[in-house]
């Protein structure tokens, strides 16, 4: 770690002699592998941009100049080079350093990110602010070829042609997003990767003609625009008014420094096409970049997880169930937005390739495409992380719900996700989905109920969302398996006293709360809501006179959530009942372990039990939401 030790603050890399750049890159990779093997995190993407990040820091003057990292999961080297080496001991842990850029963490992090395709828009806004404020900093957006499949990137590119001042867009081309890239842009970039030799030959011929036959060269120049798109890499960008430079070897620091220095001098938007390799320098990550996109702690020698899951995950349950359903029904189709592995559709892709659709990082398109499939007679299942589904709000509302189309949303990673932090917690879906007319919203209590709900959902013939958490599927309460009926809850324990009315993942918590309060001789009944929309109004009406307190429990923000809908129904009916809403606070939840975050936000069993004790003792008035 000789050279890495010399970097204590921004711009210290400029003190490293050029002959030592390769050694520094190797030290950085060794450091990242060592730290991420302990903490977990995004490894393959970070190993791929080591030299690119070094080149940026050699050319730019931070924090005056600004780098906007699209998604931001590849910013680990950037954090190292800005003096945050010690922070890697607490990477992604509660109260520790984030795995994404955070403005509150360093003035070298200029834009909080976590979702893809936002960098060019943000960078363009910063350029306009620079012009209006009379500043002169260099602004760079680093966007991957996977993120370039998102429509937002093209909306921004459509505007950058109007610039008369510098903006640098670095297209980090590694042929991967999380899963392997798909679609026309990916094919276009592959052609660019293989065409450099042809372009070099063309340039040599033109230079020779310019020297020996200038009139011929002039004539060729007149015709060049009409045939340029056939021979020049990057013509797609050139036609949009963006100067294209590249492709450039993303692991050749000196070459990148030269190209970035050239790009910085142009008074317009410049796109630098950089080719990199995900997982470079660590063989397991190079061979399996998808597995090392977001990895748990692992053994460095083998690359295998240190603590493999002991049980089947909810994602695994979905994976097996959707295969079973598709075997029985040829109308079932699966749609994903560049997350085939993450959402459990890898086996479906292999077994039913003609009914599997990966649309790239384009959630809006995924939903409207699924609406088209449904309108055409298919039964599409859109498998997506909760945090990414919110990007397609309008499409769910207008294209699916308005037309009452039978699209099933299999919503993975719902609730608190953990170490990825604010941008990845799936804590808003119950709120926005339950406001949509014609939408049915379900949440399973355990493994078996997820299976039952998926079968139920595809047979419903209308828009329906099934949301389930990350991690190992709950195996408890297997003997409780009442048939599913739209808008009907399931009573698990009937003891009178208070009623714990829990949705989805919080049923397990409610069972534990019942045990805790049972030791205090507090009688607890427990109901599994099953349906967040429509509500079981028959149960609610009966509960008003049967229980001394009704406690709603959900792993979702309080605002607009399950508890508020229950309270609103009682208010509409003019029924006064004692209610306690257990939900997440109306704020963004930071990174940390799920268990710690649940304790901090007050939705773990011990915290819920204490809130109920306080309410029953009369000291909890006015505090019936999670604080």
H or E element that contains 77: helix 76-81
What contacts 129, CB < 8 A, 6 or more positions away? none
What's the 3-state SS for 439-453?
Answer: CEEECCCCHHHHHHH
Query: Cβ distance 399 to 371 under 8 Å?
Result: yes
The pair of structure tokens assigned to 190 is: 């592959």
The DSSP secondary-structure symbol of 148 reads G
Q: Output the DSSP codes for 367-400.
A: HHHHHHHHHTT-EEEEEEEHHHHGGGHHHIIIII
| Catalytic residue status for 291 | no
Query: Cβ distance 375 to 403 under 8 Å?
Result: yes
- Identify the CA nearest to 248 among candidates 279, 271, 278: 271
The pair of structure tokens assigned to 98 is: 């984030």
The pair of structure tokens assigned to 242 is: 């963006």
Q: Output the DSSP codes for 550-594.
A: EEEEEEEESTTSHHHHHHHHHHHHT----EEEEEE-SS---SS-H
Active-site residue (options: 35, 275, 278, 355): 278
Across the beta sheet with 269-275, the strand order is 66-69, 139-144, 167-173, 269-275, 243-249
Q: Which residues of 119-141 are buried (b: 16+ CB within 10 A; e: fewer)?
A: bbbbbbebbeebeeeeeebbbbb
Query: Cβ distance 88 to 97 under 8 Å?
Result: yes
| Catalytic residue status for 278 | yes
| Catalytic residue status for 391 | yes
Give the pairing type, strands 167-173 and 269-275. Answer: parallel
d(CA 454, CA 467): 10
Query: Cβ distance 448 to 421 under 8 Å?
Result: no
The pair of structure tokens assigned to 307 is: 């603590």
The DSSP secondary-structure symbol of 75 reads -
Active-site residue (options: 29, 35, 275, 391): 391
Q: At what angle do helices 253-265 and 50-59 cross, to 10 degrees?
A: 40
What contacts 255, CB < 8 A, 6 or more positions away? 248, 249
What contacts 62, CB < 8 A, 6 or more positions away? 10, 11, 82, 108
What contacts 231, CB < 8 A, 6 or more positions away? 198, 199, 202
d(CA 551, CA 533): 17
> How big is the chain by its Cα radius of gyration, in Å?
27
d(CA 78, CA 463): 43
- CA distances from residue 599 to 429, 512, 516, 593, 610 in whole angstroms, order as listed: 21, 14, 16, 10, 12
d(CA 62, CA 68): 12
Residue 285 buriedness (CB in 10 A; 0-12 / 13-18 / 19+)? buried
Residues taking part in catalysis:
278, 363, 391
């Amino acid at each position: 770690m000789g050279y890495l030790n010399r970097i204590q603050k921004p711009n210290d890399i400029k003190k490293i002699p050029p002959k030592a750049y390769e050694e520094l890159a190797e030290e950085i990779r060794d450091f990242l592998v060592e730290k991420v093997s302990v903490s977990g995190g995004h490894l393959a993407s970070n190993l791929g941009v080591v030299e690119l990040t070094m080149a940026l820091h050699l050319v730019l003057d931070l924090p005056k100049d600004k780098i906007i990292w699209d998604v931001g999961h590849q910013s680990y080297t950037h954090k190292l080079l800005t003096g945050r080496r010690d922070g890697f001991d607490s990477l992604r842990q509660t109260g520790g350093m984030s795995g994404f850029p955070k403005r509150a963490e360093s003035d070298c992090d200029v834009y909080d990110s976590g979702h893809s395709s936002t960098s060019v828009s943000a960078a363009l806004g910063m350029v306009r602010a620079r012009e209006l404020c009379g500043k002169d900093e260099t602004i760079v957006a680093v966007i991957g070829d996977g993120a370039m499949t998102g429509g937002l990137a093209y909306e921004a590119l459509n505007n950058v042609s109007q610039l008369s001042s510098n903006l640098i867009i670095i297209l980090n081309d590694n042929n991967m997003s999380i899963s392997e890239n798909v679609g026309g842009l990916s094919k276009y970039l592959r052609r660019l990767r293989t065409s450099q030799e042809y372009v070099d030959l063309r340039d040599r011929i033109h230079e020779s003609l310019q020297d020996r036959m200038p009139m011929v060269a002039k004539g060729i120049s007149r015709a060049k625009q009409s045939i340029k798109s056939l021979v020049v890499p990057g013509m797609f960008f050139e036609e949009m008014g963006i100067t294209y430079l590249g492709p450039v070897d993303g692991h050749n620091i000196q070459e990148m420094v030269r190209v970035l220095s050239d790009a910085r001098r142009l008074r317009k938007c410049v796109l630098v096409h950089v080719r990199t390799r995900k997982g470079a320098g660590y063989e397991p990550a190079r061979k399996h970049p998808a597995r090392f996109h977001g990895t748990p702690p692992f053994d460095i020698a083998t690359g295998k997880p240190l603590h493999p899951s002991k049980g089947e995950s909810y994602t695994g349950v979905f994976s097996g169930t959707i295969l079973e359903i598709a075997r029985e029904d040829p109308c079932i189709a699966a749609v994903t937005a560049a997350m085939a592995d993450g959402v459990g559709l890898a086996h479906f892709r292999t077994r039913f390739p003609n009914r599997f659709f990966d649309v790239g990082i384009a959630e809006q398109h995924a939903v409207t495409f699924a609406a088209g499939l449904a309108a055409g007679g298919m039964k599409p299942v859109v498998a997506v992380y909760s945090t990414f589904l919110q990007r397609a709000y309008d499409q769910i509302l207008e294209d699916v719900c308005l037309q009452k189309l039978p699209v099933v949303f299999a919503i993975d990673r719902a609730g608190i996700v953990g170490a990825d932090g604010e941008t990845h917690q799936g804590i808003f879906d119950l709120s926005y989905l339950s406001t949509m007319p014609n939408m049915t919203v379900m949440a399973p209590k355990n493994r078996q109920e997820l299976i039952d709900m998926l079968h139920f959902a595809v047979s419903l013939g209308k828009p329906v969302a099934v949301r389930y958490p990350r991690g190992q599927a709950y195996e408890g309460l297997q003997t409780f398996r009442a048939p599913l009926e739209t808008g009907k809850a399931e009573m698990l324990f009937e003891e009178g006293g208070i009623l714990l009315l829990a949705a989805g993942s919080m049923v397990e918590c409610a069972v534990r709360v019942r045990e805790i309060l049972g030791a205090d001789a507090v009688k607890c009944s427990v109901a599994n809501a099953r349906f967040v929309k429509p509500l079981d109004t028959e149960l609610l009406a009966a509960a008003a006179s049967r229980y001394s307190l009704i406690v709603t429990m959900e792993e979702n923000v309080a605002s607009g959530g399950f508890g508020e809908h229950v309270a609103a129904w009682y208010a509409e009916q003019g029924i006064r009942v004692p209610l306690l809403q257990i939900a997440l606070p109306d704020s963004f939840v930071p990174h940390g372990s799920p268990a710690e975050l649940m304790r901090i936000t007050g939705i773990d069993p011990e915290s819920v039990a204490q809130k109920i004790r306080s309410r029953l003792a009369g000291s909890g008035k006015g505090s019936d939401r999670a604080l």
